[in-house]
Amino acid sequence: MQIKTLILAPCFFGAFLLCPTLVKAEDSEPFPAVACRSDHKCEDVLAVSGRTDLNPKDKARVEKIVRPASDFSTTERFEAMQGGAATSTAIVNGDAFSHPSANITFAEEEQFKLGNALFRKFWVSSPSSTQASDGLGPLFNARACQSCHLKDGRGHPPENSADATSMFLRLARPAATPEEEQALADYLQLNFPDPVYGEQLQDLAVAGLAGEGRMAISYEERPFELADGEIVSLRHPAYSITGLNYGPLHPDTTFSPRIANPMIGMGLIEAIHEADILALADPEDADQDGISGKAAIVRDHRTGELALGRFGWKAQNANVRDQSSSALAGDIGISSPDVPRHYGDCTAAQTDCLTRPNGVQARLGDTEAPDPVMDLISFYSENLAVPARRDVDNPQVLQGKELFYQAGCTSCHQPKFVTRRDAANKAQSFQLIWPYSDFLLHDMGEDLADGQPVGVANGREWRTPPLWGIGLTETVNNHTFFLHDGRARNLTEAILWHGGEAEAARNNFAQMVRQEREALIRFLESL
């Protein structure tokens, strides 16, 4: 598909950049971003006629700052502030992902701190004396949001330990009846849970109840030879489940390993205008460049309306609140108005689980995490600041950036967006941001395939993860495990696992000499 001309207008508020905005200069025709299912009308979701939040003057001044870089001898304007005015410029240490958006108000700082407390709090099983914390499980993977997103950062596989808290197995099976097929066609289901074990394997349970089983991982080392003769060993994982306590899995159930994603910049991602993401989609590869990004279509948990998916490894959630409510229900077993499952992921086959008391307190609401709780957790999640970049003007970093572009990495890792002017929170409004993602689904090849469809994403497709903050993973989380299952032990391995639509970019990296590869990695480490 043809990408329309993009234009930008800078503006300032005090010392903070509030603008630049990405638009489609010709906004009369909608973007054909994904093929709608034949038996359901999703055209309205995709018929976004450009940047409806901007006036003609805004649109006419955008192009200069959002078009791809062409001069790599120096930095681009505002490049270090990769989260716009919300960027954290705090000293870089283990708390680098835990600072609030720099441009929220004093009153909003209180909301952020209250949300932080809820994000960190340990839920307990019912009944207990701490009634506002009742409702854990009965089956669960973690007792707190922070347990998976340690220091608001990236999860990891259970390396040399039994700690699988920040990694879990998603369970799903294909549709088995015409009714289930229709539910998929109508976007009412993303897929279908295992009839006994549900949507997720939960290794923990409240007292007196058995956990479902434990994830087991084995690795096979596979050599990858680079063009200059260097050999990189890639570890190929195999997954199984041991100690199943409720009988066998359904024979058609697949399981997909997932590590927890970093929390930074989520509110800014939600504030990207749909038109800007849809403009990058090319599901039929009409331009024949080998890249066919596809937009995810999902339903908003609260309204039930169709929306653009942009959160989660398969872009299965449309907004931060949906992502939060899904995690509360699936990981911790906490119900909310958005996902009112008081027994979390317990299934009808797990009768003992369903007899356990839940944590609903009538005086507080009709779910375990009522609206005030969800509002605060969502606000906190929306306002975890992206850290400022380091060494932006370092010659090796600038060379690595150029090589990143030349290799074709920006075909999916779109460098820049400008958020919508009418964002729900002014802190995310009209910001030039640098997430390095198109937030679309891409076929990543057989080696990274999990075989598990999620909504419109098939078993080989994954959402392009944003790269901002990736260079601080070791500083924050004391590890460098990457990709959806943490199989890559460093950034080089992560690149070499890329296949499918990203195979050409991977091969371009593999053809580089060592000094060039090191420069590209140094660029990534500066993000």
Whether the pTM exceeds 0.85: the reply is yes
pLDDT band of 129, cuts 50, 70, 90: confident
Calpha distance 397→402 (Å, rounded): 9
- Give the start-end residues of each E strand in 177-260: 204-205, 214-225, 231-242, 254-259
Mean pLDDT of 314-335: 97
Domain ranges, residue 497: 30-53+79-165+262-527
Query: What ranges in 13-62 are assigned the alpha helix state H?
Result: 43-46, 56-60
Pairwise CA distance, residues 392 & 69, whole Å:
14
Look at the chain and count its residues.
527
For residue 77, pLDDT over 80 is answered with yes
* Residue 209 domain-assigned (yes or no): no
Is the pLDDT at 502 greater than 50? The verdict is yes
Residue 339: inside a domain:
yes
The pLDDT assigned to 123 comes to 97
Rounded Cα gap, residues 473 and 490, in angstroms: 10
| pLDDT band (50, 70, 90) for residue 56 | confident
At 7, which amino acid appears? Answer: I
How far is the C-alpha of 413 from the C-alpha of 404, rounded, in Å? 10
Between CA 475 and CA 93 the distance in angstroms is 6
In a domain, 10, yes or no: no
Residue 239 within a domain = no
Residue 519 lies in a domain: yes
Domain count, the chain: 1
50 or 200, higher pLDDT: 200
Contact 404, 512 (CB under 8 A): no
Average pLDDT over every residue of 279-300: 95
